[in-house]
Amino acid sequence: MRKIVVEGGKTLRGQIEVSGAKNSVLPLMAATLLTDGLSVIEDVPWLADVDVMSAVLNSLGSSCDYICGCLHINSSGIKKTEAPSALVQKMRASFLVMGPLLARYGHARMSLPGGCAIGARPIDLHLKGLEALGAEISIADGYIEATVNRMHGNQIYLDFPSVGATENLMMAAALAEGHTVIGNAAEEPEIVDLSNMLCAMGANIKGAGTNIIRIEGVKNLNPARHTVIPDRIEAGSFMVMAAATGGELIITNVITEHIKSVIAKLKEAGVKVEEGYDGVHVIGNKHLIPVDVKTLPYPGFPTDLQAQFMALLTLAGGVSVITETVFENRFRHAEELKKMSADIKTAGHSAVINGIKRLHGASVEATDLRAGAAMIIASLAAEGQTKISHIHHIERGYENICGKLAAVGAKIQIIEE
Ligand code: EPZ
């Protein structure tokens, strides 16, 4: 089994560059199904999830090539509208091809995306919205099939500002006949990034980034060239690493507007953060102040940085409380942190963290992508050696993380054990 091994106690110092956003590039790739011709997506990180989405598109008949950080995708040759089960099961974001396939070909079939380590992750909001746009949906034997003659616009209200549902419905409505309004839409930067690419393809979308998105359907779309926004979650993860090791990092390729809640929370914890035009300068200190964190849909504190902050707060000088309001089971990293001497109690949506002086290296597991980042943070700050297993979770969302961290002083490598 491949493991990440970290010798803790090293202070991180230097400059680190953030890659393109995983949670933006995946919907952008799905959007290329809406048109023939060659689209080019730039600043694409080399990640396992990008590989899986490429495989999904190629299985449908697209040609998807990754060349020097850019994806060249041509969906002129779509031969089928059923995504392979193994890939959908492997990565939930594969479900984002449902909206585009329905809008362009009137049919889509795939296995129901499973839940994962952080929750059941149902798709009811996606389905209710697609039905509102005219799709007929049937679910049987673990498969979901949707058919429609021509999508028509409608008023949709999301019970929860679901990122994936907003993306799927925006893509479907882009080619629907007439007007669509998505109420209580997700406001994440990745929604704005997708809207920008769809508009570059000829879509008529207004309001992305607010909770009301208005879409005027068009007859067809054209290929486009688009640059992915920087990964705000990777940026936040590196900021926490600087804080946890009492180090000093210049983190470049960051849109600070996208991480205002994270910067505010780090400053509250006693971490020095200076914002530049293209990045942030983070200066950690050994005396972290305990803070309370409540995860919320954007622009609130991102659930994808909750695990990383929990790792940080295990070292604060007092008691912190984390409330996870977005997912129902996103505290599995607490058990792994406790193996490193952390003092954490979880109950339902809350975790109480009693800060301690030192974490101690141990053998731990990455239980999901962001929990894996949390284990790297804890191991960098801990005394002694830590071995992290199940690192395929980490490689889904962090490009060359060991290389990036070794370059700023971490003693970190991947071994085969
Ligand atoms: C996206 O997942 C991200 N993934 C997640 O990042 C992120 O945690 C999440 O948004 C929230 O910000 C990608 O963009 C690929 P949701 P998504 O639909 O779209 C419930 C990471 O680590 N819900 O906003 O699946 C759901 O159960 C990953 O990079 C329904 O009830 O998230 C959850 O409790 C993890 N019904 C909440 O909404 C639905 O139909 C938020 O889910 C859809 C969602």
C-alpha distances (whole Å) from 172 to each of 104, 210, 353 are 8, 19, 43
For residue 125, the ligand 1 atom closest to its alpha carbon is 40
The answer, yes or no, to whether any atom of ligand 1 lies below 6 A from the CB of 26, is: yes
| 251 bridge partner residues | 16, 280
Q: Say yes or no: CB of residue 158 within 6 Å of ligand 1.
A: no
Nearest protein CA to atom 20 of ligand 1, as residue = 121
**For residues 365 and 395, what is the distance between their CA atoms, to the nearest angstrom?**
14
From the CB of 23, is ligand 1 less than 6 Å away? yes
How many Å apart are CA 356 and CA 313, to the nearest integer? 9
Residues annotated catalytic, as ranges: 116
Write phi, then psi, for 210 (nearest 5 degrees): -115, 180
CB atoms within 10 A of CB 275: 14
Sign, CA torsion 196/198/204/205: negative
Q: How far apart are the first and last CA of the chain?
A: 5
Token pair for residue 321? 């409380």
- The pLDDT tens digits along the chain (417 residues) read 999 999 999 999 999 999 999 999 999 999 999 999 999 999 999 999 999 999 999 999 999 999 999 999 999 989 999 999 999 988 999 999 999 999 999 999 999 987 677 888 899 999 999 999 999 999 999 999 999 999 999 999 999 999 999 999 999 999 999 999 999 999 999 999 999 999 999 999 999 999 999 999 999 999 999 999 999 999 999 999 999 999 999 999 999 999 999 999 999 999 999 999 999 999 998 899 999 999 999 999 999 999 999 999 999 999 999 999 999 999 999 999 999 999 999 999 999 999 999 999 999 999 999 999 999 999 999 999 999 999 999 999 999 999 999 999 999 999 998
Distance 174 CA to ligand 1 centre (A): 22
Nearest to 295 by CA among 263, 266, 330: 330
Q: How far is the CA of 323 from the centre of ligand 1 (A)?
A: 17
What pairs with residue 343 in β-bridges? Answer: 354
- Token pair, residue 160, equals 């929860």
Alpha carbons within 13 angstroms on the beta-carbon side of residue 266 total 30
Pick from 26, 97, 131, 160 the residue to mutate for probing ligand 1's pocket: most ligand atoms within 8 Å of its CB. 160
Q: Does ligand 1 have an atom closer than 6 angstroms to the CB of 93?
A: yes
In sequence order, the β-bridge partners of residue 3 are 415
> Does the CB atom of residue 142 touch ligand 1 within 6 A?
no
Token representation of residue 299 = 């622009």
User: Is ligand 1 within 6 A of the CB of residue 367?
Assistant: no
Kindly give the number of the ligand 1 atom that is closest to the alpha carbon of 124.
Answer: 40
Element holding 213 (H helix, E strand) = strand 212-216
Task: Enumerate residues 6+ apart whose C-beta is below 8 A from 2.
Answer: 391, 392, 414, 415, 416, 417
Cα(122) to centroid of ligand 1, in Å? Answer: 9
In whole angstroms, give the CA distance from residue 227 to residue 318: 43
What letter represents residue 358's amino acid? R
CA 121 to centroid of ligand 1, rounded, Å: 7
Distance 217 CA to ligand 1 centre (A): 26
Would you give the DSSP letter of residue 254? -
